[in-house]
Amino acid sequence: MLPFEKRFFHRPKLDRILYLGQMGLNIPIFIKIIETQKELKKFEKEKGNLVFSFRTQKVYLEDEKVSHYLSPFFPNTTASKELSKLKKAIKEGFQILVFEAIDPSWTVARGNILVDKVKKDIEIEYKLGQGTVRDLEREIPLRINSKYENLTSEFLHKFNSIFLNFYSIDQLIKFQFSRYILEFSVIDRAVGIKKLPVIFWEIREG
- Look over the chain and give the mean of its residue pLDDT values, rounded to a whole number: 87
Give the whole-angstrom CA distance, residue 199 versus residue 93.
28
Answer left, alpha or beta for residue 144, where phi above 0 means left and psi between -120 and 50 means alpha.
beta
What is the pTM (predicted TM-score) of this model? 0.88
DSSP string for residues in 111-140:
EEEEEETTTTEEEEEEEESSS-GGGGGGS-
Q: Distance between CA atoms of 158 and 154, rounded to whole angstroms?
A: 6
Return the number of other C-beta atoms located less than 10 Å from residue 192's C-beta.
21
pLDDT digits (tens, 9 = 90+) for 118-176: 888 888 898 889 999 989 888 888 888 877 766 666 666 666 666 777 888 788 888 98
Strands (E), 67-193: 73-78, 95-100, 107-116, 121-128, 142-147, 179-191
Residue 185 CB burial class (10 angstroms; 0-12, 13-18, ≥19): buried
pLDDT digits (tens, 9 = 90+) for 20-76: 999 999 999 999 999 999 999 999 999 999 999 999 998 765 545 544 556 889 999
